[in-house]
């Protein structure tokens, strides 16, 4: 039996327009699977140019936001940028501070401490900014749920402009302006911008009134970093933003990113969305997970090679520490799950779970058990939790139904966080478990793998791979093409990695021989017998100075 549900996407109808314009039947299928509905979308999908960029003034309250910032610039007011401690938040903070500096405004960055302050606007922080002479606070990647905090800020004479991309509540804060593409009355054509994407639109609107839009090109690397790191869909405008940002990252990375590339061993001219997801973003996030995210912000902002090198070395060390703590906590959480029995919703708690890595531990539980998972750091009076979920269970909707139990909660359908009185934990667990049991009844709780096409290995030769790369950047919403090939012969199979956690395979079909690697599937060596059905991506194996294509095997099963 396969470890995942294989969902072979439906073939293109014979009379579909895309068959007549694509370069090959396989490329046509890939485009069809990505939801292109009319010929006019085809060119913009491939070119991913500024035609995908929306008019920033279509965002709600954008005129008010620009007018208030322009007033602050003219009168020399002190402005603070209040961000979040993840990669999206620190890149958005850096973008606004750097953007305003082009207009000769020295904005003050403020990023809360994950453990001592927590996510979002805090009254104590706003009061301190006000005491420092700040009269205008612009939020990035946060603020949309800060109803009480904005009311109190207004009473003390502090103006707030909210820029955010999280789902707004029924009542939004009474800020000077609220810029969010997810607001119900928004006319903006694309709702899936990251927090840094919304920050960019604010700068575009401000710079457009001054004829300086081109000066924002130097900030597109920040937009790519935050958009990919926050797992936003790489469709629509995000394709353009990430593509432009990757060009900048590959041709002239800022000193801090150049040092991360050096420390991590990345190839400086081959950065793609996976390089951000798996290498750059975890290091930028490591600062906020274990200490203070300002170190990641400083790395993005510094012009000094020496400071960049010192910060990158420190982040590398913190990332290693983060990996160690995550592994240790994940083992403990897994033991708790197995001791209490695997239920439709997994919930574990402990006093010693480090607050900065609870979401990572929850992610590992979801990967192994394919259930929504919540990891809680218990306190005597107050506890905090981080959750990750599966597509079949909307975790933020579930938390909303339990909102009366929380001091704070927020997030997305697949990831959310909260704090609550510790005495409420039993009621929370009971309510969430009941919701999950009802909603997931009858659901096959294995991860679903969408497969673009069933092919023979011979279909992948020639210029197929270069043509597929024109669909990049790949990521959420535009995944790396995935294929199914049935009845391949195994020539050889070997465990790979320090503990044999991976498999290296040599496979043959119709006289063609391919190398394949199955990462994380070393425990299933005994199940690899000819003939085999395999689900995989194509990737370039760079080893010993040579480049060759190989199969990145996601799953396999005995041939049907």
Q: In the chain, what are the domains?
A: 5-13+448-558 (2.40.50.460), 56-212 (3.90.1640.30), 342-439 (3.10.310.30)
The mean pLDDT of 502-516, rounded to a whole number, is 95
Distances (CA, A) of 469 to 20, 21, 46, 49, 551: 20, 17, 10, 16, 15
Answer whether residue 499 shows pLDDT above 90.
no
Is the pTM for the entire model greater than 0.85? yes
- The reported pLDDT for the residue numbered 40 is 81
Answer whether residue 544 shows pLDDT above 80.
no
The mean pLDDT of 404-426, rounded to a whole number, is 92
User: For the chain, what percent of residues have pLDDT higher than 90?
Assistant: 83
Half-sphere exposure of 541 (CA within 13 A, CB side): 14
User: For the chain, what percent of residues have pLDDT higher than 70?
Assistant: 100
- Asked which of 15-19, 305-309, 376-380, 537-541 is least confident by mean pLDDT, the reply is 15-19
The span from the CA of 162 to the CA of 142, in Å, is 7
How confident is the model over 261-313, as pLDDT tens digits?
A: 999 988 878 899 999 999 999 999 999 998 999 999 999 999 999 999 999 99
Q: Name the helix (H) or strand (E) containing 225.
A: helix 220-229
The mean pLDDT of 21-44, rounded to a whole number, is 87
The span from the CA of 92 to the CA of 141, in Å, is 7
Q: What is the DSSP letter of 475?
A: B
Q: What is the DSSP letter of 278?
A: I
pLDDT averaged over the chain? 94
Residue 224's pLDDT band, with cuts at 50, 70 and 90, is very high
Half-sphere exposure of 396 (CA within 13 A, CB side): 13
Answer whether residue 1 shows pLDDT above 70.
no
- The reported pLDDT for the residue numbered 119 is 82
- The reported pLDDT for the residue numbered 39 is 85
The mean pLDDT of 316-321, rounded to a whole number, is 95
Task: Specify whether the backbone of 511 is left (phi greater than 0), alpha (psi in -120 to 50) or beta.
Answer: left
How confident is the model over 389-401, as pLDDT tens digits?
A: 999 999 999 999 9
**In angstroms, how far is CA 383 from the centroid of its own chain?**
26
The mean pLDDT of 74-86, rounded to a whole number, is 96
**Residue 84: closest CA among 126, 161, 139, 138:** 139
The mean pLDDT of 472-499, rounded to a whole number, is 94
Distances (CA, A) of 20 to 11, 13, 25, 191: 15, 12, 9, 31
The mean pLDDT of 451-469, rounded to a whole number, is 94
Q: Which residue has the tokens 């704070």?
A: 408
Which burial class, exposed, middle or buried, applies to 544 when counting CB atoms under 10 A from its CB (0-12, 13-18, 19+)?
exposed
73 by DSSP, 3-state: which?
helix
- The reported pLDDT for the residue numbered 428 is 98
How confident is the model over 374-386, as pLDDT tens digits?
A: 999 999 999 999 9
Q: Which residue has the tokens 């903006």?
A: 188
- The reported pLDDT for the residue numbered 462 is 87
Answer whether residue 52 shows pLDDT above 80.
yes
How confident is the model over 103-157, as pLDDT tens digits?
A: 999 999 999 998 888 888 999 999 999 999 999 999 999 999 999 999 999 999 9
The mean pLDDT of 336-347, rounded to a whole number, is 96
Distances (CA, A) of 496 to 266, 274, 501: 22, 22, 6
The mean pLDDT of 159-179, rounded to a whole number, is 95
Distances (CA, A) of 467 to 24, 25, 44, 50, 428: 9, 12, 16, 22, 50
295 by DSSP, 3-state: which?
helix
């Amino acid at each position: 039996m396969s470890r995942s549900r294989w969902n072979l996407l439906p073939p293109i109808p014979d009379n579909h327009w895309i068959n007549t314009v694509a370069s090959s039947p396989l490329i046509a299928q890939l485009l069809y699977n990505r939801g292109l509905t009319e010929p006019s979308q085809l060119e913009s999908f491939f070119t991913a140019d500024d035609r995908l960029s929306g008019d920033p003034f279509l965002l709600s309250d954008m005129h008010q936001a620009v007018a208030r910032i322009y007033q602050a610039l003219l009168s020399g007011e002190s402005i603070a940028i209040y961000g979040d401690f993840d990669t999206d938040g620190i890149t958005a903070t850096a973008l606004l501070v750097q953007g305003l500096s082009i207009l000769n405004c020295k904005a003050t960055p403020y990023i809360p401490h994950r453990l001592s302050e927590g996510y979002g606007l805090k009254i104590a922080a706003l009061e301190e900014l006000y005491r420092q002479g700040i009269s205008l606070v612009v939020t990035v990647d946060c603020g949309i749920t800060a109803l009480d905090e904005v009311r109190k800020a207004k009473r003390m004479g502090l103006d707030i402009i909210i820029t955010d991309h999280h789902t707004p509540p029924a009542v939004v804060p009474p800020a000077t302006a609220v810029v969010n593409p997810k607001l119900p009355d928004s006319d903006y054509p694309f709702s899936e911008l990251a927090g840094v994407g919304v920050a960019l639109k604010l700068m575009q609107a401000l710079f457009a009134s001054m004829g300086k839009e081109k000066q924002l090109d130097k900030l597109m690397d920040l937009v790519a970093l935050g958009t990919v790191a926050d797992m936003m869909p790489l469709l629509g405008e995000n394709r353009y933003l990430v593509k432009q940002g990757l060009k900048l990252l590959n041709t002239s990375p800022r000193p801090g990113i150049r040092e991360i590339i050096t420390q991590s061993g990345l190839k400086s001219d081959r950065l793609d969305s996976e390089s951000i997801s798996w290498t750059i973003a975890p290091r930028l996030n490591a600062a906020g997970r274990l200490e203070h995210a300002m170190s990641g912000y400083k790395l993005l902002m510094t012009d000094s090679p020496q400071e960049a090198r010192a910060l990158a070395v420190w982040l590398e060390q913190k990332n290693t520490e983060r990996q160690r703590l995550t592994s240790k906590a994940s083992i403990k959480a897994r033991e708790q799950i197995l001791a209490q029995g695997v239920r439709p919703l997994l919930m574990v708690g402990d006093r010693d779970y480090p607050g900065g890595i609870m979401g990572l531990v929850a992610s590992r539980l979801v990967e192994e058990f394919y259930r929504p998972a919540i990891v809680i750091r218990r306190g005597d009076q107050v506890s905090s939790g981080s959750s990750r979920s599966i597509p079949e269970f909307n975790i933020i909707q579930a938390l909303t139904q339990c909102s009366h139990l929380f001091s704070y909660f927020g997030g997305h359908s697949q990831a959310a966080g909260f704090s609550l009185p510790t005495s409420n934990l039993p009621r929370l667990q009971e309510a969430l478990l009941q919701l999950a049991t009802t909603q997931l009844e009858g659901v096959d709780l294995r991860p679903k793998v969408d497969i673009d096409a069933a092919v023979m290995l011979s279909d992948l030769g020639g210029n197929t791979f270069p043509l597929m790369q024109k669909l990049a950047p790949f990521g959420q919403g535009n995944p790396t093409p995935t294929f199914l090939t049935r009845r391949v012969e195994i020539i050889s199979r070997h465990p790979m990695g320090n503990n044999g956690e991976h498999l290296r395979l040599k496979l043959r079909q119709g006289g063609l021989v391919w190398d394949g690697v199955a990462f994380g599937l070393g425990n299933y060596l005994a199940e690899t017998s000819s003939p085999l059905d395999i689900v995989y991506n194509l990737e370039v194996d760079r080893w010993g100075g040579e480049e060759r294509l190989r199969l990145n095997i996601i799953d396999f099963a005995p041939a049907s």
